[in-house]
Amino acid sequence: TKLKVGLLFGGCSGEHEVSISSARAIAQALKSGENTNKYEVLPFYIQKNGIWQGVEIAQQVLAAGSPYLPTDEQQGKHNLWQFPSQASEIDVWFPILHGPNGEDGTVQGLLKLMQVPFVGTPALGSAVGMDKLAMKTAFAQAGLPQVKYIAVNRSQIYSNPCVFPKLCDEIEATLGYPCFVKPANLGSSVGIAKVRSRAQLETALDNAASYDRRLIVEAGVVAREVECAVLGNDQAKASVVGEITYTSDFYDYQTKYTAGQADLIIPASLPDAITTQIQEMAIKAFAAVDGAGLARVDFFYVEQTGEVLINEINTLPGFTTTSMYPQLWAATGIPFSELVDQLIQLALERKVNS
Ligand code: ADP
Ligand code: MG
Ligand code: MG
């Protein structure tokens, strides 16, 4: 009998549409080649308002490739816990939700409660990977080099008596310009600004605080952006290294999601020693957050000094046919459909309660 794979996609995040594209590619891969005899795919869709939809509507969303919009009768109802009954048949879950409410440990906690194995990192590592401040603490503890940064809490921006000017003074003195202001728990560059003056810094802090209570300000580096894919559980492997190039000011939301604005170069043209260093750092980073299954680890390579700094880990990276993660594995010798198969096997290998 075939294993029933619950492909969970959509979600309450800015990356809802990317999730649909990722799920389409994975569903296709599970229905082709040798996977056809092993797996039966049951898609489940989380609407932008958090409501779960079962196989029928999920199939429609996959076929259409665009979101299913909440109906009028659903407005104001938050029946998040009414799961489609088909959910009880699932042997293994494959969540492919990007960003908050899916990549951050929330859904992973729920799947653990269901006592069914699932693809990817459990709750702790997902939450640590999503929160840039917790992530940097874990990386620092593992001895991974990173840019200088300052943690900011929303209360420091709006407090009375006002500490805001002092905070900005400290940022200017410690980090200088340009620096990057980011909400701690987001992705896809949403809410991120590159700032070059006091006025821009003040505006960017105010804007980032509208997304999150926890913020981070980082010193800006001039560097090449290189990424490495990790696959495995306790004995994870690293892929070849890829590079992202673009002509915009930084790798912002528009550059990420407008066709033709960024190029992926696989493998990146790097000295062998740097490639090896990046691969070792990627595996260390994966272990530092207690990752499982998959992750894409992103770096800054400062060519002038030869330094490699870790930027971040993404525990549920983009998984469309043109995304960096599957392309890195394809270039390393694991084609898309085999990658998806291995990820499910890695999920089954982990005990449900570990
Ligand atoms: P996200 O999780 O949203 O992808 P990142 O921290 O990766 O956020 O930042 C998005 C992009 O902003 C990076 O890919 C890079 O182009 C730019 N960036 C972020 N931080 C820095 C930094 N400290 N120095 C230089 N560029 C940065
Ligand atoms: Mg990210
Ligand atoms: Mg990033």
**What is the residue with the minimal CA distance to atom 8 of ligand 1?**
189
Question: How far apart are the C-alpha atoms of 62 and 279, rounded to whole Å?
Answer: 34
pTM for the model: 0.96
Question: How far apart are the C-alpha atoms of 338 and 16, rounded to whole Å?
Answer: 25
273 CB-near residues (< 8 Å, 6+ apart): none
Nearest-atom index, ligand 1, CA of 223: 25
**What is the residue with the minimal CA distance to atom 22 of ligand 1?**
220
pLDDT of residue 74: 67
**Which domains are delineated in the chain?**
3-119 (3.40.50.20), 129-145+222-315 (3.30.470.20), 149-219 (3.30.1490.20)
Give the model confidence (pLDDT) of 292-344 as tens digits: 999 999 999 999 999 999 999 999 999 999 999 999 999 999 999 999 999 99
- Mean pLDDT taken over the chain: 95
**What is the residue with the minimal CA distance to atom 2 of ligand 1?**
187
* Ligand number, closest to the Cα atom of 314: 2
Q: What is the 289 CA–ligand 1 centroid distance (Å)?
A: 19
Length of the chain: 354
Q: What is the 277 CA–ligand 3 centroid distance (Å)?
A: 20
pLDDT of residue 327: 98
Q: What is the 69 CA–ligand 3 centroid distance (Å)?
A: 28
119 CB-near residues (< 8 Å, 6+ apart): 92, 93, 94, 95, 293, 294, 343, 344, 346, 347
pLDDT beyond 90 at 109: yes
* Ligand number, closest to the Cα atom of 311: 1
3-state secondary structure of 168: helix
Q: What is the 123 CA–ligand 2 centroid distance (Å)?
A: 17
User: Residues with beta carbon inside 6 Å of ligand 1?
Assistant: 147, 180, 182, 186-189, 192, 218, 220-221, 225, 250-251, 298, 311-312
Question: How far apart are the C-alpha atoms of 119 and 99, rounded to whole Å?
Answer: 16
Q: What is the 251 CA–ligand 1 centroid distance (Å)?
A: 7
3-state secondary structure of 61: helix
Question: How far apart are the C-alpha atoms of 64 and 39, rounded to whole Å?
Answer: 23
Rounded to 10 degrees, the C-alpha dihedral 305/152/192/165 comes to: -100
Exposure of 253 by Cβ count < 10 A (0-12 exposed, 13-18 middle, 19+ buried)?
middle
Q: What is the 183 CA–ligand 2 centroid distance (Å)?
A: 11
If residue 262 lies in a helix (H) or strand (E), which one and from where to where? strand 262-265
Q: What is the mean pLDDT of residues 82-108?
A: 94
Reported ipTM: the value is 0.99
Nearest-atom index, ligand 1, CA of 187: 3
Strands of 3-10's sheet in order across: 52-53, 39-46, 3-10, 92-95
Q: Which two tokens stand for residue 299?
A: 């770096």
pLDDT beyond 80 at 354: no
pLDDT beyond 80 at 71: no
Residue 92 and residue 3 in contact, taking contact as beta carbons nearer than 8 Å: yes
Sign, Cα dihedral of 314, 293, 13, 66: positive
pLDDT beyond 80 at 352: no
